[in-house]
Structure 1
């Protein structure tokens, strides 16, 4: 284990969990050059031991390591240190897949080959943790879904909200079935994510009664992020359709007005030219 402990009030303390010694040293050295502090280990067990004894602002973890699967560390962090932002190193993802992690949440993707400048910016964006933290800190449902999508696990959870109880099943990391009141499938997932308050807990996994979701979790997360940005998350399917239809109509009207203005300008210019000729 390596520990670079020269710190300043604004330095971000990062735990680097990478089994490639050269890469680990390069990341640690670059963080130090930028005024941050870092501790580095080469395996999951060492990382857990360190996290249990020291405080960190950010964890940088290689998803695939020879000395233990990085997904094990993700699951441990989700259960015991959910408030710590996690930067996950993985191979290049399909175009657009990484976007679902750029909208926020405690898990973000760092693609190989690693751009150290970008990595430092991501660490600084995570920033310093404030307040007191313990094992009972809640984790956002969005972040939990991100973690399960990365780990590829089978999970079943019960979600309690102020308006009702929902259930969500994961199979091999993908959401296979969601129910929330009378709603089923993707719409139930978006409705649950739109709840402002609630709790969820894992239950003994049993196969879902049916399969109501066919698209991968990554797609659902990207769509949920889009709806959140546009203020649509949590709205009924009818409301979403109405708002999106109104948006399309406004865009059409705007384009038509712009086109009409151009035509009017052309006519005015032609009239002015004709008057000048006279």
Structure 2
């Protein structure tokens, strides 16, 4: 495969330790099976030369660098290469440094790998990011990368973009503005009904395009709940896409659900009480109101073990999503190869919903 092949991911890894660069380069080359073009730099001058010569899918940058540390170089990249996707690595997982890097535009702040298992977990995370997002606009297959996964990455990184979805003779758009889903449209449908319909598709193609303001904003509410509600509707069979590969079906297909397009949905009356997102290496990528991170990590491990065991005895394969409900609250847990997500929400009392 040639390095200018659009399917050949371009990575730049910046670290002042030559031995680390040699180890991570050899590991990633083997794990990628030749799909990655890996370039390395030991200082910011070398890195800028690489960026000048080659567009990069991802830059992986060490925080603890001499002369110009990783944080300052990240700040410089924001001026010289705006929009460049950067993942920060650090041996010291300090919250203030993590938040500074995220505020400066880094998409992830991860622990620096030190073992073969760490290298493998980091590879999975970076490969997923490169697959889900391309600097030139990614053309993906939904059977390999889920639309909800792409939306989560866009929202978590506080991006603004348009996710164009094409399947058969149908197409639709999902608008993301500064990490919030603000509009969706497919056929004659708009708003949350269109969003849920698009997320119910089982196959097709998608492409991330530059953001443009829609004629009107039809969706409000936290993106975490919108994705939770779409998952619930799929799991409970309330949204039935048309038969065949990614068939969208007629607008009437979605009219059979328990709500209509003009009515306010639970997304506007539900409060997100807890969110935890972590990498496959148990590194916390995002956390909000989580009282015990360690307990949640243990829950992830237990559910993943149960999922692996269940997959051995069922023809449908491994499950990736689980719902738990107590009546007053609802919890969604997603177990994916590159990340694990928990979202707990408090539903409004029945009297409030009437």
TM score, norm. by length of structure 1: 0.46
Q: Looking at CA atoms only, which structure, 1 or 2, has the larger radius of gyration?
A: 1
Which has the bigger relative contact order, CA under 8 A and spacing at least 6?
1
Hey, which of these two has a bigger chunk of strand by percent?
2
